[in-house]
Each structure stands twice: as structure tokens, then as C-alpha cells.
């Protein structure tokens, strides 16, 4: 990735977000102590992100030939906040204690309650986490609502957010049965939970704010879908083969939690019945030993599933390359897209 | 209450909501089974409400001399949906299994999972409930975003929703310590959790959509605050003295759950130390006997707290009467406001 481009955008958006959240404190600190506490907490959590979504809003705007300004910042900050809001709620659902190198938001509340000796600190953490996510959503949507952008952008943000909720429900449901969902079902989840919302939406919203024509907006939408699927595939690979320090979660956690990823689905399809039952005997066992994790990794590798995943990523990368070439847009912005595609499939975190 | 006026509005809004949710199904049923299931579930839950908020949007519009139409319906339906979204999340926080005469939404999911033999059905219910609330929020905000109304209305909806989140956090926090919050703290909660959002917001939003002048909007805002506080005071009274059939929750549940209401705060202030410790010995005990509940009710009555609450309601009713008289608005709409005030303080459910 061109760290320079996304890095600079990230700093701009963080600065804007910081001052916007300070304004929220200003407006509501009189109400109760959460008026001051919550925006600070949301801000610290949001700033831990990679800000690729925010950067894509800028890039979309520039691809449409516009000059990013206050409006771009508003959309970018809102989309980052929205993402944080979803993560705050997701972490409750997945019971993830750590996120972005810090305790997840519901876990912060839970630990604070625990330290104060509050009974039912677990339920307290859940309740406060639900509220915190809701509040982050409203800050984000109020920001979008205040932006001087076509109504279509505002509609898009609400529509895709709704779709994420539906996709998340399917994801929770998949977690309740032992059957591995079909490749189609998994790719649908990747499309609706990650690709559209993390790539298509910010690129297209930025482009629409830059008054792009419909053709460019649709092209960016499709491009975002491919980039997002690729991003999620690399995530699958890192979840099994990534290094603990880089990805920030224990090696093998995808195996211990039996995450229903495309990589696992491909592996199970490719393995012979004996190896398949060996692997399913390890998947989902939270007490799996280091040796068993190693064995599972080896089965995934030798089944040829990892190579298949990589060649699918390469095919998507070639496809996105052609799509980027065909965009009628400034060459330097297209170059940033190409670097991002390279980053997506080679990143180690 | 003029059942005729609010009743007719309620039917119109319900019909609009039904067809809007059908359109949501139309748009997203291809995605997964929740695309069809969720809007139906949200709709059934929403239709269980009294639709006073939606009716107030119409009334606000008419008070401003406007003629309600499609836009009014959109705002009214959105505010009702938003309210349902908050209740869906609140019920998780309060672990309320019943709401509006049916199982609460998270509880529906929990029971369905339990019936299917899904492990961790409790956590499943919580997770699906969080998603369902989020989805309802996005349907509501998308509807608001699509309405042809001044940006000020959209900003107001997001701002007040954010404030409710902060107030809810304070409410959760009050639940963690045994001290009864001060009257000021309780009245603040009533103002921010109920009055502003359930009365001021719909009245003012309707008026703004009807292009009211600022003076009328502020007058309606203040009127809504007084009506909402009165509504909540009557809620306190019904929570202790109401009949089970009418209010739909077990008699004495406010006592068994040690709800920190204004009525309880006034009672504790008025009781002598011996009676006070007798009452606090009953409050919050889920296994309190029917006799103990009766004793607690008697202490609240004989302390004079109930009379004090009623005279405060009467004072507020007189105040709102003067405010309504002073409104420069059509007389028939003012008459609907007066009937609503009467309903609020005499309702038995």
C-alpha cells in the first residue's frame, strides 16, 4: 500500500474526528458523566483502526475528479465511526475481549464494573456496550446527515448498514450449527459483511460526493466488491498462517474457534474422509494443543486449499487490475488503487 | 385522550409502516432468510405500541397549520420504528421477557434457539436482539433520510437519539448502586429518556415539517417536556398502584425490582427512619411476598408521597393547560392536545 497516501489521509481524518468528538463533549457534557466519557472512549477506539475506509472516501472523491474538503472529511469520519459502532456491537456478540490492541469497549465497561465490585459486571458490560455502539451510530449518522452531499449517498449508507445487520444475523446463525456453510454462503457473507460496506461504499460515496457520473460509481462499486472479497480471503489465510505479533490474535484461534471461513470450506472439500475427520476433530476445540494446531495447519496446507485460495486471490487481483485500467479517472489516483490492491493481498496484519 | 384522533392516526401510520416494511422485504429477501423474517418481526413488535409518538407528529404538523401527507407519515413511522429499536435494545439490558403483550424480541430469538436445542441460546438471543435493534434503527433513519423535510428535523432526530443513549447509560449506572438517585437526577432521566424524545421530538418534528415558525417549535418543545414528565410520573404511580391486567406487568414488579422512580425517592424522603428501613428491606427483593408488596404500597401511600406526586402532576397539567391556551394554532388541534394531557394523567395503562 502507498503508506504515504493512506497514511496522510488517515491523519487528516483522525484530526477531524478528534475535533468533532470534542464538539460532542462540548454539547452534552452537562447532561451526565457519559457525555464526556463516551466520545473520548469512542475516539480512542476508532483511532486504533487502519482508516482504509476513510482513505477510500478521499480516493473515491479524487477518482471522480473532485477536490476533497470538509464534506469528504465528514463522510470519511462518519464511515469510520459507523465501522467502530459495528465493531463495538460485534465484540459483544463474539465475546472478543481485545480489539485494535486494546480491550474491546464492552470489555472495558465490564472490567471497570468488576474493579468496583459491581455485581453482574458481565451484564453491565453488555448493556453499556450496546449503548456505546448505539451512541457511536448516532454520532456517525448525524455527521452524514449534516454533510452537503447528494441524498443518494445518505440513502446508500443506511441501506448498506441495514444489509450488514442482516448478514451479521446469518453469520450468528451459521455459528449455531456444525455444518460448514457452502462456499456460496460464505462468499455472500464476505460480500455483504465486508466487501460492499468496507470498500464499495466508501469508494462510491466519495465519488458521488465528487459528483462522479453513474458509470464511474458503478465501476467503483464492482471494484470495491472484488477488493473486499480479496481482503477477506487474505484474512482467512492470516487467521491460520499469520504470525501472532502481526495479526494481534493468538495463532490458531481461527482453528480453535472453528471459524467458518472460505479457506476451511475449501480444505474440507479437498481432504479425503480420514484427514477430513481428523481436521474436524481439532476444529472448534478451545483446548487444542500447539501440536494439534500445527497438524491442522499442515492439513490445510497439504490439501492444496491454501494454494487454491492464493490463486483465487491472484485471479481477483488480475481482474481488479483490468478494472482499474479501464477507469476514466486521474492516473495518480488509479495508482493509489493499484498499491492498495497489492497491500490487500500481501499484508501481514 | 381523544381516541378518535389518535386512533385514526395510529391506523394510518400502521398501514404505512406495514407497506414500508413490505418494501424492505422486497428489497432484501434475496439476501438471506432474515431479509424476510426481520421486517415482519419488527413490524409485529412496532404495531403493539400505542402510536402516541406517531400521532404527535401529525398533531405537530397540524398545529403548525400544515396538511399532513406522505412526509408526515414517513416521520411518524420512523419515530415509531426508532422507539421500537430502543425498546428492543432496552429489553436486553433490563432482561424484560414480555413487552407490548408479546415476548420481547431478544426473548423470541432466545426461545426459538432453545426450542431448536441450540447451545448458548441465551447469548444467541442477546446477539440477534442487538442486530434486530440495529436493523430497526437503520430502517428508521433511512426513512427519515428519504423524507423531504428541513435538515433541522433530521439533525434533531439524531441528536435526541444520541442523548437517549447517554441517559440510558446513566440509568444503567444508577442500577449498580443502592443509593436512590436525587430527585434532580431522576427528573433529568425522565426528561432525557422520555419527555424530550417521546413528546417534544415528535411534536416539534411534525411542526417543522409543517413549516412552523421558531416560536411555535420552541413552545411545542417545552410543552412536550412537561407532558412527558407528567407521563412518566403517572407511570411511576401505575407501577405501584396499577392493576396487573391493565399495565401488563405483575403488580409490585417496580417494588421487587427496586425501580428508582421519583415516587420511591419522594417516599424515602418523607418516611421516618423506622418505616424507611422497613421499605428498603422490601425494595429489590425478588422473592417479596404478596403481603410485603401490600405493606410497601401502604407505606408509599401513607407517607403522602402518592398525594405529592398527584399534586405535582396536577400542577404540571395546569401549566400545560396555560401553554396550550397560549399557542397560536388551530383550535381543534389544541383541543386534541388538551385531551391528550387528560389521558396522560388519568390513563390506567
pLDDT 10s digits, A159-215: 999 999 999 999 999 888 778 899 999 999 999 999 999 999 999 999 999 887 999
Residue carrying C-alpha cell 480420514: A274
Res. B3 pLDDT band, cuts 50 70 90: low
- Among the partner-chain residues B93, B118, B128, the one whose CB lies closest to the CB of A169 is B128
Tell me whether residues B93 and A130 touch, CB distance under 8 A. yes
What is the mean pLDDT of the segment spanning A222-239? Answer: 96
Beta bridge partners of A103: A98
Angle in degrees, 0-180, between the axes of helices B70-94 and B201-209, rounded to the nearest 10: 160
Instruction: Give the dihedral sign, CA B33/B39/B43/B46.
Output: positive
CB contacts of B158 in chain A (<8 Å) are: 138, 141-142, 145
pLDDT band per the 50, 70, 90 thresholds, residue B247 = low
Measured in angstroms, the CA of A222 and the nearest CA of chain B are apart by 17
Between the CA of residue A18 and those of A14, A37, A138, A140, B166, what are the distances in Å? 6, 14, 16, 13, 19
Predicted local distance difference test score (pLDDT) of residue A348: 85
List the single residue in A with minimal CA-CA distance to B142. A158
Q: Would the CB atoms of A169 and B34 count as touching at under 8 Å?
A: yes
Of B89, B131, B166, the CB nearest to A165: B131
Report how far residue B23's alpha carbon sits from residue B201's, in angstroms, rounded to the nearest whole number: 26
Q: Which three cell numbers, joined as nine digits, stand for B288?
A: 417479596
pLDDT over 90 at B146, yes or no: yes
Of A52, A36, A135, the residue nearest B161 (C-alpha)? A135
The reply to whether B158 touches chain A by the CB within 8 Å rule is yes
Taking the C-alpha atoms of residue A4 and residue A6, their distance in angstroms, rounded to an integer, is 6
Beta carbons within 10 angstroms of residue A273's beta carbon? 7
Nearest CA distance, A75 vs chain B (angstrom)? 15
Interface with chain A: mutation pick from B23, B112, B134, highest number of A CBs within 10 Å: B134
Angle B207-B210-B216 (CA atoms, 0-180°, nearest 5)? 40
How do A98-99 and A102-103 pair as beta strands? antiparallel
Considering only the beta carbons, identify the residue of A139, A158, A192 that sits closest to B162: A139
CB atoms within 10 A of CB A267: 27
What confidence score (pLDDT) does residue A3 get?
64
Tell me if A77 sits within 8 A of A24, measured CB to CB.
no
Smallest Cα distance from A191 to chain B, Å: 11
Q: Which site among A42, A131, A132, A192 would you substitute to test the B interface, given the most B Cβ atoms closer than 10 Å to its Cβ? A: A131
Measured CA to CA in angstroms, residue A125 lies from A113, A128, A308, B120, B266 at distances of: 8, 5, 41, 18, 30
| Interface check A21 vs B, CB under 8 A | no
| ipTM of the complex in this document | 0.95
CB contact under 8 A, B162 and A135: yes
Could you tell me the three cell numbers for B318? 395546569
H or E element in which residue A341 lies:
helix A331-346
Q: How many residues does chain B have?
A: 349
**Phi (first) and psi of residue B99, to 5 degrees:** -160, 135
The answer to whether the beta carbons of residues B232 and B194 sit under 8 Å apart is yes
Total count of residues recorded for chain A: 349
pLDDT at B2 over 50: no
**Average confidence (pLDDT) over B10-14:** 97
Sequence-ordered list of residues with C-beta below 8 angstroms from that of B59, at least 6 positions apart, any chain: B5, B9, B203, B206, B333, B336, B337, B340
Quote the percentage of chain A above a pLDDT of 70. Answer: 97
Q: Summarize the confidence of residues B8-27 as an average pLDDT.
A: 98
Lowest mean pLDDT among A201-215, B126-140, B153-167, B246-260: B246-260
pLDDT at B192: 95
* Cα→Cα distances A19→A16, A24, A40, A83, Å: 5, 9, 11, 19
CA neighbor of B2 nearest in space, from B82, B59, B46: B59
Condensed to tens digits (0 to 9), the pLDDT of residues A265-306 reads 999 999 999 999 999 999 988 899 999 999 999 999 999 999
Q: Which of B35, B33, B140, B42 is nearest to B88 (CA)?
A: B42
CB-closest option in B31, B126, B146 to A192: B31
d(CA A251, CA A293): 8
Distance CA B67, CA B321 (A): 25
Residue of B nearest to A188 (CA): B31
Contacts of B65 (CB under 8 A, 6+ apart): B210, B212, B329, B330
- Counted across chains A and B, CB pairs separated by less than 8 A come out at 153
Across chain A, mean pLDDT equals: 94
- Report residue A249's pLDDT band, with 50, 70 and 90 as the boundaries: low
Helix (H, G, I), strand (E, B) or coil at B250: coil
Q: Do B142 and A134 touch (CB under 8 A)?
A: no
Neighbours of A150 (CB within 10 A): 13
**Whether A155 contacts chain B with CB within 8 A:** yes
A34 touches B: beta carbon within 8 Å: yes
Distance to chain B for A44, nearest Cα, Å: 18
Q: pLDDT for A305-328, tens place per residue?
A: 999 999 999 999 999 999 999 999
For residue B162, what is its C-alpha cell?
444520541
Query: Looking up cell 405501584, which residue turns up?
Result: B240
Strand partners, A98: A103
What is residue A186's three-state secondary structure? helix
- The answer to whether the beta carbons of residues A174 and A185 sit under 8 Å apart is yes
Q: Does B118 touch chain A (CB under 8 A)?
A: yes
Is residue B137 less than 8 Å (CB to CB) from chain A? yes
**Chain B neighbors of A124, CB-CB under 8 A:** 172, 176
Does B188 lie at the interface with A, CB-CB under 8 angstroms? yes
Ordered structural domains, chain A, with CATH: 3-346 (1.10.600.10)
The C-alpha angle A204, A210, A213, rounded to 5 degrees, equals 70
pLDDT band for position B286 (cuts 50, 70, 90): confident
What does residue A283 show for φ and ψ, rounded to 5 degrees? -55, 130
| B window 92-111, beta carbon within 8 A of A | 92-93, 95
> Which residues touch B178 (CB under 8 Å, ≥6 apart)?
none
Instruction: Identify whether the C-beta of residue A103 lies closer than 8 Å to the C-beta of residue A97.
Output: yes
> What are all long-range contacts of A152-158, with beta carbons under 8 Å and residues at least 24 apart?
A152/A208, A153/A75, A153/A205, A153/A208, A153/A209, A154/B145, A155/B142, A155/B145, A155/B146, A156/A201, A156/A204, A156/A205, A156/A208, A157/A78, A157/A79, A157/A82, A157/A201, A157/A205, A158/B138, A158/B141, A158/B142, A158/B145
Please report the pLDDT score of residue B69 as a whole number.
Answer: 95
3-state secondary structure of A99: strand
| Distance (Å) from the alpha carbon of A92 to chain B's nearest alpha carbon | 8
Q: Does B89 touch chain A (CB under 8 A)?
A: yes
Chain A residues in contact with B169 by the CB 8 A cut-off are 32, 34, 38, 128, 131-132, 135
A-chain CB neighbours of B197 within 8 Å are none
Touching check for A167 and chain B: CB below 8 Å?
yes
Q: Which residue has the higher pLDDT, A3 or A119?
A: A119
From the list B111, B99, B115, B55, the residue with the least C-alpha distance to B80 is B55
Query: By the CB < 8 Å criterion, does A182 face chain B?
Result: no
- Please state the φ and ψ torsions of residue B218, each to the nearest 5 degrees: -65, -40
- Cα Rg of chain A (Å, integer): 21
What is the Cα–Cα distance from B196 to B207, expressed in whole angstroms?
15
CA distance B242 to B236: 9
**How do A102-103 and B98-99 pair as beta strands?**
unpaired
Chain A positions touching B154 (Cβ under 8 A) are 145
Classify burial at A325, counting beta carbons within 10 Å of its beta carbon; exposed 0-12, middle 13-18, buried 19 or more. exposed
Contacts of B133 in chain A (CB under 8 A): 130, 134
Distance from CA of B96 to the nearest CA of A (A): 13
SS3 A285: coil
A210-227 per-position pLDDT tens digit:
887 999 999 999 999 999
Q: How far apart are CA A326 and CA A320, in angstroms?
A: 10
Amino acid at each position: 500500500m502507498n503508506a504515504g497516501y493512506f497514511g496522510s489521509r488517515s491523519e487528516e481524518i483522525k484530526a477531524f474526528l478528534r475535533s468533532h468528538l470534542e464538539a460532542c463533549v462540548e454539547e452534552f457534557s452537562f447532561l451526565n458523566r457519559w457525555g464526556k466519557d463516551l466520545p473520548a472512549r469512542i475516539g480512542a477506539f476508532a483511532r486504533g483502526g487502519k482508516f482504509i475506509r476513510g482513505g477510500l472516501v478521499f480516493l473515491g472523491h479524487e477518482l471522480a475528479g473532485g477536490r476533497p474538503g470538509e464534506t469528504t472529511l465528514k463522510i470519511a469520519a462518519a464511515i469510520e465511526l459507523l465501522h467502530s459502532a459495528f465493531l463495538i456491537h460485534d465484540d459483544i456478540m463474539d465475546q472478543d475481549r481485545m480489539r485494535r490492541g486494546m480491550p474491546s469497549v464492552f470489555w472495558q465497561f465490564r472490567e471497570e464494573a468488576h474493579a468496583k465490585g459491581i455485581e453482574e459486571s458481565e451484564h453491565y458490560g453488555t448493556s453499556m456496550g450496546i449503548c456505546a455502539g448505539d451512541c457511536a451510530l448516532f454520532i456517525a449518522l448525524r455527521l452524514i446527515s449534516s454533510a452537503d452531499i447528494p441524498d443518494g449517498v445518505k440513502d446508500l449508507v443506511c441501506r448498506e448498514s441495514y444489509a450488514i445487520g442482516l448478514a451479521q444475523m446469518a453469520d450468528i446463525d451459521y455459528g449455531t450449527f456444525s455444518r460448514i456453510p457452502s462456499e456460496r454462503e460464505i462468499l455472500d457473507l464476505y460480500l455483504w459483511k465486508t466487501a460492499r460496506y468496507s470498500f464499495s461504499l466508501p469508494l462510491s460515496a466519495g465519488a458521488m460526493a465528487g459528483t462522479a457520473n453513474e458509470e464511474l460509481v458503478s465501476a467503483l462499486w464492482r471494484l470495491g466488491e472484488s477488493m473486499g472479497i480479496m481482503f477477506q480471503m487474505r484474512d482467512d489465510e492470516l487467521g491460520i498462517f499469520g504470525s501472532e505479533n502481526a495479526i494481534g490474535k493468538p495463532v490458531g484461534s481461527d482453528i480453535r474457534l472453528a471459524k467458518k471461513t472460505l479457506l476451511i470450506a475449501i480444505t474440507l472439500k479437498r481432504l479425503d474422509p480420514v484427514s477430513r475427520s481428523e481436521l474436524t476433530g481439532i476444529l472448534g476445540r478451545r483446548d487444542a494443543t500447539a501440536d494439534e494446531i500445527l497438524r491442522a495447519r499442515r492439513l490445510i496446507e497439504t490439501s492444496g486449499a491454501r494454494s487454491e485460495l492464493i490463486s483465487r486471490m491472484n485471479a481477483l487481483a488480475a481482474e481488479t487490475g483490468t478494472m482499474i485500467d479501464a477507469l476514466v479517472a486521474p492516473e495518480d489516483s488509479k495508482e493509489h488503487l493499484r498499491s492498495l490492491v497489492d497491500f490487500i493481498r500481501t499484508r501481514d496484519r
